[in-house]
Structure 1
């Protein structure tokens, strides 16, 4: 039997075996404990970061209206949360949306999988280099691998018209609260944020209401930024603003 070797994706490259480094590009960028080599290396890192932005913009510029679905990579494929992800991806695709995920397993795979069940739909995965192996799932039509989290996050926001978060861990929370902050500070507008799973998210929403609002850390209207539901079709209606589920066709310039 052929022995498996460690593997890591680095942007558009794949490295295996002894070529897999001990750290990621993000780790090296953010490390302040190393030598003064950063003084000479950081200007070149800026060019690599710029290249990732250019590649992402170029690949995603012509996407149809899209929705980003977040959720745990650890969700098993026989769980109700996985089934919800499949149903959600399918419903979004049937409504004319491209579906964007982080490209990994679990809930991300589920949403991509649901989208591929609809003819003509576009299923997108925006992956990230991690210290541990996590390959792009098999239900992605367009997959882009990023070295830097902040470049990837920009793509999620720039090319989505809304976020839907299924149950997830630290990564999902990070993406969720970044989205809420961007909407609260009006860096993005008309950008609904939906939480799917009232049992999972209910305690957090109660804490936001009772603790954050209760102690004056947020304003009352900030609660309107969060939509909590268990219903896939309600989630899609929230994304579309409560109107027709299919977005209107683009108007050609005169």
Structure 2
């Protein structure tokens, strides 16, 4: 009983520490990002900044469907299996989460990419938007893997790493876009300033996931890939629909 109380106390202490780190990271990231957006808006001017936001609209809508609650499911099942010391199941959840992320992100990015011409001409009536929407569709892929990395690092209670990724991403974004716009690339520079940071940080996230996965490979568990996928989908679906409906 005493050992259980000590374990519970340790978990609560670690959870509180992790939450504090996440909060600090979120505050810093928000401040950095806000500064970058203000600079880009000022450099682009009202017309070009409006064009950028218009091109971002279909991508932002697609991003609502991007995660589908997989991130939350990974946090739950990774944390649960780590607590229960079922390390053999962890690699299966990692595999399932990454496959689901890969499928949904490329599918959504493909839909936005293919429909960019129709959206630009028929919906917005601005032909110039078509290539901008196509470029921005890559954001969906980068953001999907970055979000998955966030979930996995939180599940492993690597709050510092999670916050570090977020701060690094927002810092790069707040610097890259203003510089590219300032040197004369205009709206295209702002788009590159969106794409490059998320793709680089998403790649870093995948690298860290790979390192975690390699540590889990030596363990075997009773859970199959199909079962893990069903569990993730079963847990994430209600979260996804509630988020969409609200």
Q: TM-score, structure 2 length as denominator?
A: 0.25
Higher strand proportion: 1
Higher helix proportion: 2
**Larger RCO (CA under 8 A, 6+ residues apart):** 2
